[in-house]
Amino acid sequence: MNKEELANNSIKCLDKGFVRLVDFMGDDSAIVQAARVSYGNGTKSYREDRGLIRYLMRNSHTSPFEMVEFKFHVRLPIFVARQWIRHRTANVNEYSGRYSEMTDEFYVPDLIQLRHQSKNNKQGRSEQNLELHHAENVLKKMKQSQKNSYNEYKFYLEEDLARELARINLPLSSYTEWYWKIDLHNLFHFLRLRLDSHAQFEIRIYAEAIAEIIKKIVPISFEAFEDFRLYSKSFSRIELEFLKNIIDKSKLKEKALLDLGLSKREATDIIDFFNE
Ligand SMILES: Cc1cc2nc3c(=O)[nH]c(=O)nc-3n(C[C@H](O)[C@H](O)[C@H](O)COP(=O)(O)OP(=O)(O)OC[C@H]3O[C@@H](n4cnc5c(N)ncnc54)[C@H](O)[C@@H]3O)c2cc1C
């Protein structure tokens, strides 16, 4: 990504938010370079670099991924920011409601997002939408109470109440902004948790936007992240014993595994594991 592309890479999120990459340091080659430093070797062929990155990801050799850094400018509702800030391994600088006036922008969910409480996931919404006239009523009330609390906020300011106190009754749907800087290793951790279907829809939208941006800069690492982290699953000792007992070992052929895209090492490891 060049400087011009960098300036035009904002992705709209939710109704009034966005994610914008402000700056970054390094790409796939920085990871390879760091991993090879002990051998005094730089970049080799694309195939070898890809193999090395996949090896690092598969074996949790995480520090080379810390050589790449991203700085984002994000506009997000405060309730999303509260979930996001729990990721402690980033550097954050947020808009100050003590120093500056809060804007009158609030998140209003799409009608389609107004669903019933999930029965099997206590933290989430179900697939079932509110009936249309109930949903419309909820949205109307939400907008009205956002407007009322902003009018109150303006009233407190007119009374010359300090901004730091005038803001305290504003809702969690208020938009805030921050700069957020994080290295690739910790960003993958954030993405693994926040791209997951259990993460709240509203933060997932931001995680998807960040994934879109970074996969252009670190395509090989992103592919390895998808293969070994995002879409992988770990099994307990008991679950593995069960799998070993039911698996048809006659189908564990190296060629079949190589044809699926596994490396020779990965194919050997899986065959050895199930034949133990
Ligand atoms: C679907 C979902 C539901 C959630 N629900 C809740 C909830 O109901 N209530 C709630 O409070 N939180 C909840 N969380 C937040 C969650 O518990 C974590 O705080 C959040 O995901 C950040 O994860 P982390 O600590 O691994 O990340 P980071 O803070 O980025 O840390 C990354 C890693 O660094 C290490 N690390 C960082 N700081 C320390 C430290 N001080 N000591 C030791 N190791 C450290 C840990 O290995 C950690 O995994 C939820 C998260 C998700 C994704």
Q: What would the pLDDT profile of 166-206 be if each residue is shown by its tens digit?
A: 999 999 999 999 999 999 999 999 999 999 999 999 999 99
Res. 40: pLDDT tops 60: no
Assess whether pLDDT exceeds 80 at residue 214.
yes
The residue among 172, 201, 222 that closes a domain is 172
Note whether 72 and 184 are same-domain residues.
yes
Q: Structurally, how many domains does the chain consist of?
A: 3
190 & 73 share domain: yes
Whether 133 is in the pocket of ligand 1, judged by its Cβ within 6 Å, is: no
Q: Are residues 44 and 96 in the same domain?
A: yes
Report the separation in Å between the CA atom of 32 and the middle of ligand 1, taken as the mean of its atom positions: 28
Q: Are residues 89 and 15 in the same domain?
A: yes
Question: 129, 155, 172: which is the final residue of a domain?
Answer: 172
Query: Do residues 50 and 96 both lie within one domain?
Result: yes
pLDDT at 41: 58
Query: Which residue in the block uniquely carries the two structure tokens 């954050």?
Result: 92
Average pLDDT in the chain: 92
- The whole domain housing 38 covers 3-107+173-230
Q: Which of 115, 125, 194, 265 is catalytic?
A: 194
Q: CATH number, domain at 198?
A: 3.30.1360.170
Provide the residue type at 233 as one letter.
K
d(CA 196, ligand 1 centre) in Å: 14
Query: Between these two residues, 276 and 115, which has the higher pLDDT value?
Result: 115
Whether 196 and 247 share a structural domain: no
Same domain for 179 and 100: yes
Q: What are the strands, taking DSSP E only, across the chain? A: 11-13, 17-25, 69-77, 91-94, 115-117, 125-129, 175-183
Q: Is the CB of 86 under 6 A from ligand 1?
A: yes
Based on the fold, state whether residues 245 and 219 are members of the same structural domain.
Answer: no
135 and 21 part of one domain: no
pLDDT band at 117 (very low <50, low <70, confident <90, very high): confident
CA of 74 to the centre of ligand 1 (A): 20
Question: Which atom of ligand 1 is least distant from the CA of 89?
Answer: 30
Nearest CA to ligand 1 atom 25: 87
- pLDDT at 56 (0 to 100): 95
Q: Which of 210, 230, 250 is the last residue of a domain?
A: 230
Please give the share of the chain, as a percent, with pLDDT higher than 90: 77
Contacts of 11 (CB under 8 A, 6+ apart): 18, 19, 20, 209, 212, 213
> Residue 265 catalytic?
no
What mean pLDDT comes out for the span 18-42?
A: 86
Q: Check pocket membership of 89 for ligand 1, CB cut-off 6 A.
A: yes
Do 160 and 76 lie in a common domain? Answer: no
Cα 44 to middle of ligand 1, angstroms: 37
Query: What are the pLDDT digits (tens) for 54-108?
Result: 999 999 999 999 999 999 999 999 999 999 999 999 999 999 888 899 999 999 9
Q: Which residues lie below 8 Å from residue 58, measured CB to CB, with a gap of 6+? A: 224, 228, 266
Strand order, beta sheet including 91-94: 11-13, 17-25, 69-77, 175-183, 91-94
Q: Are residues 167 and 119 in the same domain?
A: yes
Q: Does one domain contain both 55 and 37?
A: yes
